[in-house]
């Protein structure tokens, strides 16, 4: 395992999955003979490679979600009371409950057949794409915080502080948005750059403390989250700082219309330029991590700090730089909310973007393309969850449970293999992620 | 894949001795030039009994500015002492405690000097500190149980939250608060068991695992709260609470009585658990084994200690302790469960554990400090003191960063903390 990693630092920290990626096909046959394509496919499924495990994890999580929906549905529970003499009613009530919820989830996030029928009868064609537009809108901030977590992860660090960095970006973008007068396009760009810098500063402080003292970044970022929550409320509840005039609530002034991001799909909550920013950031991150010297250093430090040090890489500099970039990406996430929505910044605007970024990054295997896909999946669950709650009364929180279970299962491939009786993959990939504790 | 512990030397060039002395003198100067000079003229009044309590102690009147000056001088004196004399370990701790106390007292003197709203209710402040610390202390003990055996527990927050939810639900359905407490504890233990299974059997990265379990707990409790507790509040969230138990004799001692011996069962459980964990870890065979497993599992295994079993047991027991802390949030105080009721206490408990250097008593001290800053913020807003509560609320987090950054002495986790044990 270690040989492979020293030779190929690209298969860096999120080990189990990455070694499966490269490990299963490459380790193949002992004599170096490549397996035939057909065999490879069978092997892929029977051993459970990355994609298969992710799909199975999503399946199990949806199943758990279904159980939650059914077990808390009074209609279904009443039907089950009379299971002994009307089993059909109980089963159909169960099916109806789950089917109603999940089809609302699907129609709210991806595609609703009703809109196609309407389009044929003179309705709007744009309405067909409305659910996808919602999904992309919801996915936008998640992709960016996911990238933030992923960049730090590739450099061997765990960034729980995307929420704090988000706030850093949000404060700068909001201030630039209402306090500065600039022409239309320039204003938005200045705000975006400001948000990146605002987030990067918070990330830089964390990286600097870690590099200078060796303090663990998990503790530092958790603490910075709380400092930033309180700082945000403090700034927004003081008239002399950032509170909107004549307000008693913790609310910032509305930013100028020249600083708003232009719409693409329609007014929020439909997809806007923020989504393009997220995609561009993903492409840039991908280039940075996989094609640039800095990215190579990141991955080397992530794979083994001591090896990186022997190779002449300044590990401390990498830590600081990785956190600066991670913070900046989290700041960009804030920009898509602050400048992408009409609502002003409030004391709880940060929502759960920071923590969702962790789950998105882990599900996306800390790779930019994976993060985009995972962000879209979570965006779909969030967008669909709202529609589901409105249509069936099932609280949208169930989607959070589904998301967390997906990540939990993806992080534990041996469990999925056990559940579905998959064979252990040959070679190095069988091990799960091993953790490094506080002292790493 | 295990990243090597990269030794990073703290590039603090000044020796610790002068750093501490400088900090003491700095705090003393703040006492004098901030709290002393800015204090309103007039007396600061400290009420030592609750209104209507008997026996009623007279309130203490002191000139606020003068008190702050005096305390500042004491702090500076101790700072000079620290710089000149190399004190023994207990001396260092004592001087630190005195300087912190001086700082807090001068802050209070500044806050209440010439205050027209009324006296500072010292009993309220101390009582509130203790009750606010209960979930933090129990959470920190929970973290400690796991980490001393080598399993990182970031899921304290999730354990508190599920404990709070199940306690409220069980107490409402059965009508028995004790059943609620037990249910909450078991629910916390269940989250602990999940943590243990995934960490020990499936070797999942423990920090990732903890974060994900927190998300699961938050999502699940929110879902069930919206779906079940709100529509059927009378059945599932009726808000039962424990009543207060006054310890006979002890509770009638002035000051000490109302603060320490006039609370509900959770405070007494907390006392007991602190003692049990402290003595258990450092004075019993069980504790020695746990610490061996956390520091050097290979050695422990060699002498026949069951490493994995010890870890399972400790993480689950820790989860049960955190579950009690969660139960306190509902059946021990407000009665009702609300969405995200633990509101980050689990993370503060984690900080308290690290601040307390993975020792029970140290964690308790840190938790009390955090509890104090919460309660102080409440008391100051009652007195309408013009200091933003958000700044006060930030203080514990800044203190934790300073602690983990090694500015007040190095914190060192158990050597095998977070490293899965796979027998070679």
Strand B60-63 versus strand B43-47 pairing type:
antiparallel
> Does the beta-carbon distance from A404 to B216 stay under 8 Å?
yes
CA angle B112–B115–B121, rounded 5-degree value: 50
> Does the beta-carbon distance from B394 to A436 stay under 8 Å?
no
Which tokens in the block code for residue A344?
A: 């002003």
> Does the beta-carbon distance from A436 to B218 stay under 8 Å?
no
CA–CA gap between residue B48 and residue B46 (Å, rounded): 6
H-assigned helices in B54-176: 64-84, 89-112, 122-148, 156-174
Spell out which residues of chain A touch residue B348, defining contact as CB-CB under 8 Å: 226
User: CB within 8 A of B89, min separation 6: which ones?
Assistant: none
- Give yes or no for B400 touching A (CB within 8 A): yes
Residue labelled with tokens 């590990």? A315
At residue B411 the predicted structure's pLDDT band, cuts being 50, 70 and 90, is low
At residue B11 the predicted structure's pLDDT band, cuts being 50, 70 and 90, is very low
Q: In a 3-state reduction of DSSP, which class is residue A206?
A: helix
CA–CA gap between residue A195 and residue A330 (Å, rounded): 9
User: CB within 8 A of A32, min separation 6: which ones?
Assistant: none
Q: Which residue of A has its CA nearest to B399?
A: A223
pLDDT of residue B180: 94
Mean pLDDT score of chain A, rounded to an integer? 84
> Does the beta-carbon distance from B5 to A433 stay under 8 Å?
no
CA–CA gap between residue B32 and residue B19 (Å, rounded): 20
**B65 close to B36: Cβ distance less than 8 angstroms:** yes
Which tokens in the block code for residue B48?
A: 């030592």
Residue B144 CA neighbour count, 13 Å, CB half: 32
pLDDT of residue B148: 94
The residue of A404, A406, A428 whose CB has the most chain B CBs within 10 angstroms, and thus the best one to mutate to test that interface, is A404
**B111 close to B272: Cβ distance less than 8 angstroms:** no
pLDDT of residue B423: 77
* Chain center to CA of A223: 21
- Give yes or no for A408 touching B (CB within 8 A): yes
Nearest CB among B209, B211, B223 relative to A397 is that of B223
Q: Which residue of B has its CA nearest to A307?
A: B4
pLDDT of residue B247: 85
Which neighbouring-strand residues pair with B45?
Answer: B61
Q: In a 3-state reduction of DSSP, which class is residue A33?
A: coil
Which neighbouring-strand residues pair with B407?
Answer: B409
- pLDDT over threshold 50, residue A85: yes
Which neighbouring-strand residues pair with B262?
Answer: B246
Burial class (CB in 10 A: 0-12, 13-18, 19+), B122: buried
The string of DSSP letters for A93-134 reads HHHHHHHHHHHHHHHHHT--HHHHHHHHTT--SGGGGHHHHH
pTM, full prediction = 0.86
- pLDDT over threshold 70, residue B240: yes
**Dihedral over Cα of B161, B165, B170, B176: its sign:** positive
> Does the beta-carbon distance from B226 to A397 stay under 8 Å?
yes
CA–CA gap between residue B313 and residue B155 (Å, rounded): 16
Which tens digits make up the pLDDT trace of A231-245? 999 999 888 888 888
CA–CA gap between residue A356 and residue B215 (Å, rounded): 9
Spell out which residues of chain B touch residue A222, defining contact as CB-CB under 8 Å: 347, 350-351
**A133 close to A271: Cβ distance less than 8 angstroms:** yes
Residue A246 CA neighbour count, 13 Å, CB half: 1
Nearest Cα neighbor of B156 from B142, B172, B146 is B142
Nearest Cα neighbor of A199 from A156, A243, A163 is A163
Which tens digits make up the pLDDT trace of A369-420? 999 999 999 999 999 999 999 999 888 889 999 998 998 888 888 888 888 8
Which tokens in the block code for residue B35?
A: 């709290």
What are the structural domains of chain B?
Answer: 16-118 (no CATH), 123-404 (1.10.3470)
Nearest Cα neighbor of A302 from A433, A117, A416 is A433
- pLDDT over threshold 60, residue B1: no
User: How far are the Cα atoms of A28, A44, A56 from residue A38, in angstroms, in the given order?
Assistant: 13, 10, 21
Mean pLDDT confidence for B212-216? 91
- Which residue did the predictor score with more confidence, A280 or B48? A280
Q: Which helix (H) or strand (E) segment is B312 a member of?
A: helix B307-327
- Give yes or no for B6 touching A (CB within 8 A): yes
Q: Go through A248-264 and write b for each residue having 16 or more CB atoms within 10 A of its CB, e for each that does not.
A: eebbbbbbbebbbbeee
- Give yes or no for B347 touching A (CB within 8 A): yes
User: CB within 8 A of B36, min separation 6: which ones?
Assistant: B65, B68, B69, B72, B106, B110
Neighbours of A421 (CB within 10 A): 8
Neighbours of B272 (CB within 10 A): 10
ipTM of the complex: 0.82
CA–CA gap between residue B349 and residue B268 (Å, rounded): 19
CA–CA gap between residue A139 and residue A371 (Å, rounded): 10
Give me the count of residues in chain B.
Answer: 424
pLDDT of residue A29: 40
- Give yes or no for B300 touching A (CB within 8 A): no
Nearest CB among A216, A400, A440 relative to B404 is that of A216
Residue labelled with tokens 């912190």? B100
CA–CA gap between residue A148 and residue A281 (Å, rounded): 10
- Give yes or no for B268 touching A (CB within 8 A): no
User: CB within 8 A of A128, min separation 6: which ones?
Assistant: A111, A112, A115, A116, A119
Which range in A126-135, A170-179, B102-111 is most confidently predicted, on average pLDDT? A170-179
pLDDT of residue A12: 37
- Give yes or no for A383 touching B (CB within 8 A): no
What do you get for the CA distance between the two ends of chain A, in Å?
Answer: 19
CA–CA gap between residue A200 and residue A194 (Å, rounded): 10
Q: In a 3-state reduction of DSSP, which class is residue A48?
A: coil
SS3 content of chain A, % helix, strand, coil (to 5): 70, 0, 30
- pLDDT over threshold 60, residue A224: yes
Q: Which residue of B has its CA nearest to A434?
A: B205
- pLDDT over threshold 60, residue A367: yes
Closest approach of A19 to chain B, Cα-based (Å): 11
- Give yes or no for A310 touching B (CB within 8 A): no
The string of DSSP letters for A225-286 reads HHHHHHHHHHHHT-TTTTPPTT--SSBPPPPPGGGSPPBSSSSTTS-BHHHHHHHHHHHHHH
Which tens digits make up the pLDDT trace of B24-48? 888 888 888 888 888 777 788 888 8
Which neighbouring-strand residues pair with B63?
Answer: B43
pLDDT of residue A67: 92
> Does the beta-carbon distance from B3 to A305 stay under 8 Å?
yes
CA–CA gap between residue A399 and residue A58 (Å, rounded): 12
Mark which residues 355-374 of A lie under 8 Å from B by CB: 355, 358-359, 362
**B242 close to B331: Cβ distance less than 8 angstroms:** yes
Question: Can you say whether residue B365 is alpha, beta or left, with left for phi > 0 and alpha for psi between -120 and 50 degrees?
Answer: alpha
Mean pLDDT confidence for A84-93? 83
Rg (C-alpha) for chain B, rounded Å, is: 23
**B271 close to B140: Cβ distance less than 8 angstroms:** no
């Amino acid at each position: 395992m270690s040989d492979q990693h020293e030779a190929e630092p690209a298969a860096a920290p999120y080990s189990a999955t990455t070694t499966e990626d490269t490990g299963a096909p490459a380790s193949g046959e002992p004599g170096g003979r490549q397996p035939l394509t057909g065999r490879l496919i069978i092997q892929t499924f029977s051993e459970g490679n990355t994609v298969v495990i992710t799909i199975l994890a999503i399946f199990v999580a949806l199943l758990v979600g279904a159980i939650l929906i059914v077990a808390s549905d009074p209609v279904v529970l009443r039907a089950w009371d009379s299971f002994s003499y009307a089993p059909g009613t109980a089963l159909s009530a169960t099916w109806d409950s789950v089917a109603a919820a999940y089809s609302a989830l699907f129609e709210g996030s991806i595609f609703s057949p009703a809109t196609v029928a309407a389009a044929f009868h003179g309705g709007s064609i744009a309405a067909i794409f409305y659910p996808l537009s919602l999904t992309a809108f919801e996915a936008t901030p998640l992709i960016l915080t996911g990238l933030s977590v992923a960049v730090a992860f590739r450099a061997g660090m765990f960034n729980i502080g995307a929420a704090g960095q988000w706030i850093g970006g949000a404060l700068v973008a909001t201030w630039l948005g209402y306090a500065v007068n600039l022409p239309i396009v320039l204003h938005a760009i200045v705000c975006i750059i400001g948000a990146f810098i605002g987030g990067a500063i918070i990330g830089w402080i964390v990286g600097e403390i870690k590099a200078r003292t060796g303090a663990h970044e998990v503790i530092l970022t958790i603490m910075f989250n709380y400092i930033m929550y309180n700082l945000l409320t403090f700034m927004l509840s003081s008239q002399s700082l950032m509170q909107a005039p004549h307000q008693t609530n913790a609310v910032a002034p509305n930013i100028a219309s020249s600083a708003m991001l232009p719409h693409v799909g329609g007014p929020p909550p439909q997809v806007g330029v923020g989504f393009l920013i997220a995609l561009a950031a993903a492409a840039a991150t991908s280039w940075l991590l996989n094609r640039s010297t800095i990215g190579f250093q990141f991955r080397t430090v992530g794979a083994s700090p001591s090896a990186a040090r022997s190779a002449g890489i300044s590990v401390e500099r990498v830590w600081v730089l990785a956190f600066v970039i991670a913070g900046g990406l989290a700041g960009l996430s804030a920009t898509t909310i602050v400048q992408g929505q009409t609502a002003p910044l409030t004391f709880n605007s940060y929502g759960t973007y920071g923590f969702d970024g962790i789950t998105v990054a882990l599900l996306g295997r800390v790779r930019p393309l994976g993060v985009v896909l995972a962000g879209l999946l979570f965006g779909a669950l969030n967008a669909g969850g709202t529609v589901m709650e409105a249509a069936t009364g099932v609280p949208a929180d169930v989607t959070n449970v589904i998301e967390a279970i997906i990540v939990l299962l993806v992080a534990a491939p041996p469990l999925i293999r056990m559940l579905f009786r998959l064979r252990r993959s040959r070679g190095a990939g069988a091990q799960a992620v091993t953790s490094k504790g506080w002292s790493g | 894949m295990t990243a090597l512990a990269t030794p990073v030397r703290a590039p603090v060039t000044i020796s610790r001795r002068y750093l501490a002395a400088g900090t003491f003198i700095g705090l003393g100067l703040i006492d004098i030039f901030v709290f002393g000079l800015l204090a309103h003229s007039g007396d600061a009044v400290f009420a030592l009994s609750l209104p209507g309590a008997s026996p009623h102690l007279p309130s203490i009147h002191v000139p606020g500015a003068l008190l702050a000056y005096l305390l500042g001088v004491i702090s500076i004196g101790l700072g000079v002492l620290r710089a000149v004399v190399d004190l023994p370990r207990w001396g260092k701790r004592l001087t630190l405690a005195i300087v912190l106390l001086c700082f807090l007292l001068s802050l209070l003197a500044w806050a209440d000097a010439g205050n027209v709203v009324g006296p500072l209710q010292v009993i309220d402040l101390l009582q509130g500190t203790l009750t606010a610390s209960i979930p933090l202390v129990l959470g920190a003990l929970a973290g400690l149980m796991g980490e001393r055996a080598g399993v990182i527990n970031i899921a304290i927050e999730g354990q508190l939250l599920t404990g709070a939810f199940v306690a409220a639900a069980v107490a409402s359905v059965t009508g028995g608060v004790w059943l609620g407490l037990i249910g909450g504890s078991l629910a916390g233990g269940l989250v602990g068991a999940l943590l243990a299974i995934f960490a020990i059997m499936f070797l999942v990265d423990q920090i990732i695992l903890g974060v994900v379990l927190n998300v699961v707990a938050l999502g699940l409790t929110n879902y069930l709260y919206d779906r079940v507790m709100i529509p059927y509040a009378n059945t599932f969230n009726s808000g039962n609470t424990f009543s207060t138990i006054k310890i006979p004799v002890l509770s009638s001692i002035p000051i000490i009585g109302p603060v320490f011996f006039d609370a509900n069962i959770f405070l007494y459980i907390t006392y007991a658990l602190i003692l049990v964990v402290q003595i258990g870890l450092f004075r019993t065979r069980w504790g020695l084994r746990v610490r061996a497993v956390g520091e050097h599992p290979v050695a422990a295994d060699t002498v026949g200690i069951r490493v994995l079993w010890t870890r399972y047991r400790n993480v689950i027991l820790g989860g049960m302790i955190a579950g009690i802390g969660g139960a306190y949030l509902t059946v021990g105080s407000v009665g009702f469960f609300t969405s995200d009721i633990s509101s980050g206490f689990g993370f503060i408990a984690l900080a308290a554990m690290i601040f307390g250097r993975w020792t029970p008593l140290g964690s308790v001290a840190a938790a009390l400090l955090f509890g104090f800053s919460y309660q102080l913020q409440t008391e100051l807003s009652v007195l309408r003191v013009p200091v933003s509560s958000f700044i006060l609320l930030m203080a514990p987090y800044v203190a934790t960063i300073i602690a983990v950054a090694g500015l007040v002495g190095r914190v060192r986790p158990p050597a095998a903390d977070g490293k899965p044990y796979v027998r070679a």
